[in-house]
Amino acid sequence: MTNAWTDIKNTDLAIVMGGNAAEAHPCGFKWVTEAKANRGAKLIVVDPRFTRTAAVADYYAPIRPGSDIAFLLGVIRWCIANDKVQWEYVRNYTNATFLVREDYGWADGLFTGYDEEARRYDMTSWEYQIGEDGFARVDPAMTDPRCVWNLLKAHVEVYTPDFVETVCGTPKDRFLKICEMIGTCAAPDRVMTSLYALGWAQHSKGAQNIRGMAMLQLILGNVGLRGGGINALRGHSNIQGLTDIGLMSNLIPGYMNLPRDSEPDFATYMASRAFRPLRPGQTSYWQNYRKFFVSFQKAMWGGAATAENDWAFDYLPKLDIPSYDILKMFDMMAKGEVNLYFCQGFNPLMSFPNRAKLTEGLSKLKLLVVMDPLQTETAHFWENHGAFNDVDPAAIQTEVLELPTTCFAEDEGALVNSGRWLQWHWPAATPPGAARGDVWIMSSIFRRVRALYEAEGGAFPDPILKLSWDYADASEPTPEELAKEMNGRALTDLADPADATQILLAAGRQLQTFGQLRDDGSTMCGCWIFSGSWTEDGNMMARRDNSDPGDAGMFLNWSFAWPMNRRILYNRASADLAGKPWDPARKLIEWDGAKWTGYDVPDIGVTAKPGEVMPFIMTNEGVGKLFSRKGMVDGPFPTHMEPFESPVENLLNPALRGNPAARVFPEDLAQMATGDEFPYVGTSYRLTEHFHTWTKHNLVNAALQPEFFVEISEQLAAEKGIRGGQQVRVWSKRGEVWAKAVVTKRIKPMICAGKTVHVVGIPLHWGFTGVARKGWGPNSLTPFVGDANIQTPEFKAFLVNIEPVEGGPLA
């Protein structure tokens, strides 16, 4: 989220697209109802199904799964054509005025530089024209045909309301009505918020879906404002924390990158991370990367990380490929290339695509370790559960260790919510049986591994032997110790750079902010963005003061929000060029003539003069990017792409399949179906009654939604002779499931490119463990391909077939 849950109450218009907030985030959704009840805000829902969010919406439109980019670029086209643009914002706060290289272009659904063989773009041309002064060239009048604004106008020209209707199946009148509602928020005193979730992320072009909305919000001038922003509703209570702390194969904490093979030394690694400002006087905050990185290395290896050894740069593993994401790991597993797999709080057998391939992979492991509070299907993948898990245990040699862990209600620590709030929590219950905390388990394993290295040596034992481990109880670092380490502290007295006689922070003191970090080894910090969360004043995450000055929805003394307790990112953009709030009734921060003040922590140097330093301080440009340069592997603008499995071809280029820049393994591509073989569009989702595959272990949740079902329209039901409540078989090119049929008016057939498209809705909460009835998940059916940028699996649009069944395996 750029904003916070509590800020949603400030909006004039909430659009839920690519998500189902009422259903999957009912508690957060309360802020939408607040905005509706108290501000008269409107709610729009765009979804393939009429969801529980749609049930309380002011306006709903259907959309074919996987066609969101066409819809969003259609809205952008409409806004430009109808002058629904916040011009002052666009001109000053976005890169609309920046000039792009002459050799950049787009044709037939592809950007310049595409290599079909490698399924990859050469991004050289996706760049600004750089002047002799080293800065990007701009045209403030926006008349140059190479300026981003004019390129964008040309780029979206194809996305007419008719094109949107043809591709998305959204009736034109509904699309236009939504355009009009959205268009009202181009006014400086009207603000729209976008709430989305995996409905946008789980596509092979998921990141570009989100880009589409981010661009629209920039054009409307809605980023950085109260009630605005682009707000990812995280699907798991601490998945924000997971990404923050860098639990990805290619990241280290605080959104820094693990080095690549091509970066064998620190100097090379840093060379591509200079983050030089592309416009004069801009902040480009990532210029501090070296401080964050060195402080992280000091947190990891303490005294062993020195200037002489480049801060232990060699201790970090180097990636030989872009990432070892989960799809890649399971692909390797299925090829017999993985021996040991640790599953910590993760149930991939029910949550990753192509279950048959997952089972194959797990069956080829030597050892599978599962750390979980619940008995997961993954831990029991080798058990035969009849049709529900039809495997031959005798043929599976994988050894499985289940290590029962505590759950969130049984331990202490912080969860990071969608709004980046680190909220400390305390145990509410005693762990059952032999359950132990994850920290104890991991620490105990680490100590044993370290003892083995101590005893036996190894090719390069230093990263293990020299790992900093200064905890009172080496077997169980406390939540407080870990949190303080992530916040960081001074290792030596930190002198004021302006006056060496002044000590800003004494050795051993907790950092107040990441602004105090140094790149000379005098500070340590486990996760720079968390700096400020546990200071000398104590645990900021445990604060529970719900006072809210100005009724602004900021709650600065409740928990701690990264970065720097800031509740709305880019909040400098909530004021005009002179520093006055766009909407005085919705003031966030303002320039008082000497400094920035207001209800939120300013997202700009507090004395940075308005008109000089632009609001988007994390970008090299200082402004928001309508044209993302080389930030995304699949294009500097979004462009319409079909899902890998689609009932219709890509109207921009029928030869294209899926996202042309997405990684897809050859065996998996061979398992992708066409609309001739599998005529119906499957899509996956959650239900309010359950949380992932956890709550099927709970009696009450199981009673409220006991059994696996799929949802189809009355029309498809009539066509196939399916009755509500009857068993159906749903199958794809990769697997099959049996489910109860829910026949509903909430799903209606759509007409796309002259074809009738039927949607089969497939919720994801059932499996073969727990107290609910045994069932399946959509992942038995879904294709093994992920987003081109971040590898989120394409769960939201795939092809299936369906038939009624008499006497199937269900009750």
Residues in touch with other proteins (CB under 8 A) = 22-23, 26-27, 29-30, 33, 36-37, 40, 50, 52-56, 58, 60, 688-689, 699-709, 723-726, 740-746, 748, 771-773, 810-811
CB of 387 to other proteins, least distance (A): 16
Tell me the closest approach of the beta carbon of residue 810 to other proteins, in angstroms: 8
C-beta of 49 vs 290, nearer to other proteins: 49
Q: Which is nearer to other proteins, 565 or 705 (CB)?
A: 705
Residue tagged 């190894």 (tokens): 458
CB of 704 to other proteins, least distance (A): 5
For 586-735, strand residue ranges (E) read 589-591, 596-598, 680-685, 709-713, 727-731
Would you say 641 or 759 has its CB closer to other proteins? 759
Q: Among 495, 487, 551, which residue's Cα sits nearest to residue 518?
A: 495
Question: Between 31 and 313, whose beta carbon lies closer to other proteins?
Answer: 31
* Choice between 178 and 396, CB closer to other proteins: 178
Task: Output the CA–CA distances (angstroms, integers) from residue 206 to 16, 601, 655, in the order listed.
Answer: 16, 31, 21
* Shortest distance, position 689 Cβ to other proteins, whole Å: 6
Q: Judged by CB, which is closer to other proteins: 721, or 754?
A: 721
Give the whole-angstrom CA distance, residue 672 versus residue 781: 11
Tokens of 634: 């699949």
> Which one, 781 or 810, has the nearer CB to other proteins?
810
Beta pairing class for 736-744 and 709-713: parallel
Q: Which two tokens stand for residue 417?
A: 């919510």
Comparing CB distances to other proteins, the nearer of 347 and 701 is 701
620 versus 713: smaller Cβ distance to other proteins: 713
- Nearer to other proteins by Cβ, of 46 and 327: the residue is 46
- Which residue is it, tokens 């080293």? 134
Neighbours of 356 (CB within 10 A): 15
Q: Name which of 110 and 759 has its Cβ closer to other proteins.
A: 759
Q: Smallest gap, in angstroms, from Cβ of residue 728 to other proteins?
A: 11
- For residue 22, what is the enclosing H or E element? helix 21-24
The sign of the torsion formed by the CA atoms of 322, 327, 330, 335 equals negative
Report the alpha-carbon distance of residue 145 to residue 130 in Å, rounded: 16
Q: Please provide the size of the chain in residues.
A: 811
Distance CA 312, CA 462 (A): 9
Closest contact distance (angstroms) between CB of 239 and other proteins is: 20
Q: How far is the CB of 36 from other proteins (least distance, A)?
A: 8
Structure tokens at 101: 């290289």
Q: How far is the CB of 544 from other proteins (least distance, A)?
A: 13
Q: Which CB atom, from 53 or from 282, has the smaller least distance to other proteins? A: 53
* Residue 564 DSSP code: T
- For the CA atoms of 138, 141, 146, 149, what is the dihedral angle to 10 degrees? 100
Which helix (H) or strand (E) covers residue 360, if one does?
A: helix 355-363
* Burial annotation 144-183 (CB, 10 A radius, 16+ → b, else e): bebbbbbbbbebbebbebebbbbbbbbbeebbbebbebbb
Q: Give burial (CB, 10 Å; 0-12/13-18/19+) of 102.
A: exposed
Q: Least distance from C-beta 747 to other proteins, angstroms?
A: 10
Residues 6+ apart with CB under 8 A from 644: 204, 657, 658, 659, 662, 664, 672, 783, 785, 794, 798
Give the whole-angstrom CA distance, residue 313 versus residue 256. 14
User: Is residue 178 classed as helix, strand or coil in its secondary structure?
Assistant: helix
Could you tell me if 16 and 233 are in contact, meaning their C-beta atoms sit under 8 angstroms apart?
no
Nearest to 740 by CA among 801, 800, 808: 808
Nearer Cβ to other proteins, position 233 or 329? 233
Could you tell me how far CA 579 lies from the centroid of its own chain?
31
| Least distance from other proteins to the Cβ atom of residue 230, Å | 23
Residue closer to other proteins (CB basis): 459 or 700:
700
Closer to other proteins by Cβ: residue 56 or 187: 56
Name the DSSP class of 726.
-
Q: Which is nearer to other proteins, 605 or 724 (CB)?
A: 724
Give the shortest CB-41-to-other proteins separation in angstroms: 11
323 versus 688: smaller Cβ distance to other proteins: 688
- Give the whole-angstrom CA distance, residue 587 versus residue 1: 19
Q: Indicate the residue among 625 and 765 with the shorter CB distance to other proteins.
A: 765
Cα separation, 543 vs 105, in Å, equals 51
At 252 the three-state DSSP class reads strand
Q: Is the dihedral of CA 684, 690, 696, 700 positive or negative?
A: negative
Q: How far, in Å, CA of 751 to CA of 37, rounded?
A: 36
| Element spanning 483, H or E | helix 479-487
Rounded to whole angstroms, how far apart are CA atoms 585 and 570? Answer: 19
> In the structure encoding, which two tokens stand for residue 687, read together?
């239900």
The nearest distance, CB 776 to other proteins, in angstroms, is 13
Phi, psi of 670 (to 5 degrees): -65, -20
CA nearest 431: which of 370, 345, 373, 347? 373
Residues paired with 712 in a beta bridge = 743
Q: What angle, 0 to 180 degrees and rounded to 10, lies between the N-to-C axes of helices 355-363 and 326-334?
A: 60
Q: Give the C-alpha separation, 5 to 582, whole Å.
A: 22
Antiparallel, parallel or unpaired: β 534-535 and 538-539: antiparallel
